[in-house]
Amino acid sequence: MKMTIILNGETKTVPDGITVIGLLEHLSIQHQRVAVERNEEIVKKTAYGSTVLNDGDALEVVSFMGGGAR
């Protein structure tokens, strides 16, 4: 079965019962380098494996970038 989520403003179809870590792996995103917000709440990295997504959830995945002004 599939469900629909909103990821960074775009509608995506993903497997039912997928967790945050499962979604990141599904999208080939390294979980160590991102922050995830689900329905306007930050998901703690320690909860990525236990946070199951629901149909209609809105997620924002933000990558950390190195660098800066010199």
Which range marks the domain in which residue 44 is found? 2-63
Rounded to an integer, what distance in angstroms lies between the CA atom of residue 35 and that of residue 42? 8
* Number of structural domains found in the chain: 1
Evaluate if residue 69 carries a pLDDT over 90. Answer: no
Query: Position 24: which residue type?
Result: L
Provide the pLDDT for residue 49.
97
Are the beta carbons of 6 and 14 closer than 8 angstroms? no
Residue 9 covered by a domain:
yes
Tens-place pLDDT, residues 10-59: 999 999 999 999 999 999 998 888 999 999 999 999 999 999 999 999 99
In a domain, 28, yes or no: yes
Token code pair at residue 22: 């499962």
Q: What is the pLDDT, as a whole number, of residue 10? A: 97
pLDDT score at 66 = 66
- Whole-prediction pTM value? 0.87
> 70 in a domain, yes or no?
no
Q: What is the CATH number of the domain that holds 19?
A: 3.10.20.30
Residue 68: inside a domain, yes or no? no
